[in-house]
Structures are given as C-alpha cells and as structure tokens.
Structure 1
Amino acid sequence: MASSPLNQKSNYHARSVSLPSRPHPLILQCNEHLCRLGASDTTSSSPSTTLRSKLSCLQDLYECVEKLLQLPQSQQAIVLERHEKWVEELFDGSLHLLDACSAAKDAVIHTKECTRELQSIMRRRRGDDMGFEREVRKYLMSRKVVKKAVQRALKGMESKRGNKNHENLAMVSTLREIEAATLNVFESLLSYIIGPKLRSKPSSWSLVSKLVLPKRVACDNEETERSEIEMVDAALYAIISEKASKSDHIVNAENVQNLLGKLEPNVQDLEEGLERLFRRLIKTRVSLLNIFNH
C-alpha cells in the first residue's frame, strides 16, 4: 500500500528523530530479559521448572514492552507509519501470540483436569482392580485428544511464522525477537504436554518397565531428564500391558500416585503462569491498537 503524502514527507524525519541510532534504555532492558530467557535453559533442573522460569521471564519482558510502547517516540513511529508493512506485522503478531497462549492454556487445563480425575479414581480403586485399568485406558485416550489438539496448534505456529525483512528500527527488531522467543516458549510448553510417543502394545513393555519400575532404572541421571508427564504416561502404559504381573500392577499404581502428586502442582503453576502472561499479551495488543487508532 502506498504511503500517504504525510508519510512520504515524514518517514525519514520520523526514523531519524523519533528513534535515534542509540537504543533506548528500555530496548536494552528488553534485550537483557531475552538473554535471561535463553539462559533459563541451562539453569533449571527439570522441564517443568524450566518452563515456569521461562513464563516468569516472559511476564517481566512484556512489562518492559508495555513501557516501551508508552514512549512518545515509539507511538510517533507507529502513528506516522501506520500503513507500513511492519506495523501490520506487529498487530498480526500480537494476535498470533494470544492464539498460541490460549492453545497452551487449554492444553494445560485439560491435562490438569485429567490428572485430578485420575487421582480421585486411584484413591477409590486398587491397582489390581480391572475397573481401574479401564479408567487408565480412558485417561490415555483423553491424552490422545490433547495431543492431537496440541499438534494442530504447533502446525498453526509453523504456518504463521514467516520470513520477515529486517528493519533498521531498534524497536521493531526487538519486538520481532520477543515475538519469536515467545512462540518458542509456547512450542516448548506444548511439546511438554504432548510427552513421549509410547505404544500401548505389549511390545512396548520393555521400554515402559525401564522407564517406570525403580528396580529396573539403570541410571538416576536419566530419571531427572524425563518430564513428569513422560513418567506418568510410562507408568500408565505399564499398568495396561498384558505382560505386567499383578504385583507389577500394584507397584505401578503406587508409582503413578506418587508421580501424579508431583505433576499436579507443576501443571497448576504452569496454568497460573500462562494466565498472567495472557493478561500481559492482551495489554500489549490493546496498547498497539490504541496507538494505531490515535
């Protein structure tokens, strides 16, 4: 779309005056938060801890973004160049982030509800009860529904993430980096929810038993690398395995109870972190729209 006469006369002036070559301290602060976000991969001890840390980093990051958007020079740049492609991309990106965050919240909430329901059932039934095995299969089926929804969400992220031209504007470059980093966190969280691809057929028993039964775990370090959801899924597949003995059923049921006890608070923390971040993302989009419509 062609620029208006005002834009044609003012583009160079807006770029050189409203956004100087030296980055604003808030832009530098945003970059520091981005570095902190990347560093969280190497400082956390488990996948859920890493994700909680990343969500906390993103909340601080978007608080900084909100302040950046309140700068007169940032608002002037958006108002003067509202017909430029990069402005439209910022708006589209803010909506895309809201959609991705909503998909992540839905997946986490569904996982939490399924986890609580299974915990309730386990309190009422013994591990060697056939009715309990049916409930386990129902839970695993619900997990498949979640996985399909997550896979659709992940494909949506890939299809909407296009190659964007680099801008000389520090604000634009920083906001695009933040958008990409945020999508990466959502992808990591959704991948965490999906968990491993374990087969429910008897041939998977050797893998399942290695993952689950304490007496068969070869290395404690491997245990800490697996996510809580991965270990719960492995324990449940062990329960419905045709090669599992009654004693194994009881051991696995106890193991599932312990794992669910650890999983539930982690999932709850992720839900709360996503909810806080969702509110931040809404504020960011509203700020962009208010500036654009000014």
Structure 2
Amino acid sequence: MDSFSVNSKKSFHVRSNSLPSKPHPVVDEVSEHLCRLKASEEATSSSSSLCQKLDGLQDLHDCIDKLLLLPLTHQALIDNKSVDDLLEGSLKILDVCALAKDVLSQMKESAHELESALRRRKDGMVDIQKYLNSRKMVKKAIHMTLKGMKKTNFQKSDESSEIVSLLKEAETVTYNSIESLLLFVAGPKLPSKMSKWSLVSMLMQPKRVACKDDSTDANEVEMVDAALNSITNRKSDCFAQGEDVQNSLRKLELCIHDIEEDLESLYRRLVKNRVSFLNILNH
C-alpha cells in the first residue's frame, strides 16, 4: 500500500471523529414537544386551549423524566454552571403551580356555593356579592404573585450544554403556560358600569358544556363575571336571570374541574422531575 493511501485513510479517520454525534432520541423528543408548545403560546387563552396546553406539558415532562435518567444528562448537569438556576427555576414552577391549584379550588367552591344558593332562591344578592368579593381577592392574589416573580427568558450561551438549554426552555414554556392559566382565571378588569348592549353581547356568546369537548374561545370566567356584574350594577332581581346564571356557573365548575385534573397531573410530574434532578446532584 503506498504512502498516499495510508495518509488518506488516516485523514478520513480523523475527520470522521470530529463529526457531531447524533442527538439521543429522547433529546429529539423533548425538542419536538417544546416546539409544539412554543408554537401554541400566542394562541388566545380559552379553557379549551388551556386544557390542551396542560396536556402538552404533561407529555413534555414525561419526556424530561426519561431525559433525566440518561447518563449523558447526569454528566451535563454535574459539569454545568447553570445547575443552581435550574434548581431555583424548578422550585419557582412548583410554587406558581401550587398557587394555580389553590385558586382553582377556591373558585370552584365559590361557584358551587353560589349556584346552590340561586337554586334554593335564598339570599341571592348576598351570595352574589360574596362571590364577587371572592373574585376580587383571587384577582389581587394572582396579579401580586405574578408581579413578584421574576420572569426569565433563557438565552443559550456557548457554555450551556444542549441538555441544560432544553431544561431551561422547558421551564420557560411551563411558566408561561401556567401564567396564561392564572390570567385566564383572573379575567379582565370589568368597568364599574357596562352598557346594556355590551353585556348582552357577552352573555349571548356561544355556550359550552365542557372545555375539552369544545373548540370555541368563550371564556366561562368572563361569562359568569359579566352576568353577576349585570345583576348588581342594575340592582335587578337576581332571579330574573337565575336559570341562565346557574347554567353558566355549572359550566364554569365543569371547566375548572377539567383544568384541575390536568394541573394536578402536571404538578405530580414536576415534583417527580425535581426529585430526580436532586438525586442526580446528590450522587
């Protein structure tokens, strides 16, 4: 064999070793879930879109659970300087998720109590005001909490491994989705007085039975708030719209129930992933 052939083979061998290795299938899977979730971030927040986002987040964090079992992930986390940021971020996500769970539970209880009171036709106006006062407290708690949380948009740097970058992107996407959920629950600030036609327009939007089975963008929270503010602002008989309000409250309860189930499933996955993360660092 001549020297040219030997040198050519050696040169090819060196170049082949320098080629980037193919990403692990789990890494690709996490990236795909992130792409889908980020693509849906700009969508109008409705109960149906929130349920879809929460389902997507569950799938994402199931993949992250598999990612955290890989030896290459262990090495990436141990060698990276961003580990403290990841730990702090995972705790922040758990905190905001816990807040969302508490808020949803309180809202469902308030809606059920008001619906029961209207059905019994007892102290209707008093219970409506109690519900609206509870809503004000919920809005205030949500906005204060979100204002106090530092929102981070992770920018990949040369020092960040691909694994760490994916975990930080997952943190950002998860936070943004839960923030959308909380803002959906808080609802817009309704003016003290609304025109008759504004209220009619809002109340005549297509009604829905359950958030997972409907693709319309009607906001059940706004529907109930508008109906109750209509009653209190005009000082009208709270039972004149009794049946419609009760139906809106029941639909709100159903949608909160669906969102609660998805959020609880997501919360369990977040806890599991944090435990896995801590186990990696403690070894």
Shorter-chain TM-score above 0.5: yes
User: SS in structure 2 opposite 1:240?
Assistant: helix
Closer, same or farther: CA 209–150 of 1 in aligned 2, 3 Å: same
What is the rounded CA distance, in whole Å, between the counterparts of 1:29 and 1:165 in structure 2?
19
- Alpha-carbon shift at residue 156 of structure 1 (Å): 2.9
Closer, same or farther: CA 72–281 of 1 in aligned 2, 3 Å: same
What is the rounded CA distance, in whole Å, between the counterparts of 2:223 and 2:187 in structure 1?
9
What is the rounded CA distance, in whole Å, between the counterparts of 2:186 and 2:257 in structure 1?
16
The yes-or-no answer on 1:107 pairing with 2:103 is yes
- Alpha-carbon shift at residue 160 of structure 1 (Å): 4.8
Q: Which runs of 5+ in 1 are unaligned?
A: 1-16
The yes-or-no answer on 1:204 pairing with 2:233 is no
- Alpha-carbon shift at residue 210 of structure 1 (Å): 3.3
What amino acid is aligned across from residue 211 of structure 1 in structure 2? M
User: SS in structure 2 opposite 1:161?
Assistant: coil
Q: Identify the residue that residue 6 of structure 1 maps to in structure 2.
A: none
Moved >3 Å (runs of 4+): 38-44, 162-165
Higher gyration radius (CA): 2
What amino acid is aligned across from residue 161 of structure 1 in structure 2? T
Q: Identify the residue that residue 27 of structure 2 maps to in structure 1.
A: 27
What is the rounded CA distance, in whole Å, between the counterparts of 1:142 and 1:98 in structure 2?
24
Q: Identify the residue that residue 241 of structure 2 maps to in structure 1.
A: 252
User: SS in structure 2 opposite 1:191?
Assistant: helix
Identity %: 46
For 1:149-160, list aligned pairs within 5 A: 149-157=141-149, 159-160=150-151
- Alpha-carbon shift at residue 254 of structure 1 (Å): 1.9
What is the rounded CA distance, in whole Å, between the counterparts of 2:195 and 2:120 in structure 1?
26
Match of 2:116 among 113, 120, 125: 120
Maintained 8 Å contact 1:239/1:253: no
- Alpha-carbon shift at residue 188 of structure 1 (Å): 0.5
Q: If the length of structure 1 is used for normalisation, what is the TM-score? A: 0.79
For 1:196-275, list aligned pairs within 5 A: 196-199=188-191, 201=192, 203-206=193-196, 207-212=198-203, 214=204, 224-242=216-234, 244=236, 246=237, 249-275=238-264
- Alpha-carbon shift at residue 226 of structure 1 (Å): 3.5
What is the rounded CA distance, in whole Å, between the counterparts of 2:42 and 2:170 in structure 1?
20
Match of 1:96 among 74, 89, 92: 92
What amino acid is aligned across from residue 47 of structure 1 in structure 2? S
What is the rounded CA distance, in whole Å, between the counterparts of 1:163 and 1:35 in structure 2?
15
- Alpha-carbon shift at residue 289 of structure 1 (Å): 0.7
What amino acid is aligned across from residue 190 of structure 1 in structure 2? L
What amino acid is aligned across from residue 177 of structure 1 in structure 2? E
What does the per-residue CA deviation read over 1:226-281, in whole Å, with 9 as the maximum and x for residues that have no partner? 3100000000011112364x4xx444322211111211111011111111111111
Aligned-pair RMSD on alpha carbons?
2.5
Closer, same or farther: CA 151–183 of 1 in aligned 2, 3 Å: same
What amino acid is aligned across from residue 63 of structure 2 in structure 1? C
- Which structure's residues are more often helix, by fraction? 1
Closer, same or farther: CA 235–255 of 1 in aligned 2, 3 Å: same
User: SS in structure 1 opposite 2:241?
Assistant: helix
For 1:44-83, list aligned pairs within 5 A: 47-79=46-78, 81=79
What amino acid is aligned across from residue 174 of structure 1 in structure 2? L
The yes-or-no answer on 1:276 pairing with 2:275 is no
Maintained 8 Å contact 1:209/1:238: no
What amino acid is aligned across from residue 276 of structure 1 in structure 2? S
Q: If the length of structure 2 is used for normalisation, what is the TM-score? A: 0.82
What is the rounded CA distance, in whole Å, between the counterparts of 2:153 and 2:66 in structure 1?
27
Closer, same or farther: CA 35–108 of 1 in aligned 2, 3 Å: same
What is the rounded CA distance, in whole Å, between the counterparts of 1:136 and 1:205 in structure 2?
20
What is the rounded CA distance, in whole Å, between the counterparts of 2:81 and 2:42 in structure 1?
37
- Alpha-carbon shift at residue 36 of structure 1 (Å): 2.7
- Alpha-carbon shift at residue 163 of structure 1 (Å): 5.6
What amino acid is aligned across from residue 173 of structure 2 in structure 1? A
What is the rounded CA distance, in whole Å, between the counterparts of 2:146 and 2:242 in structure 1?
32
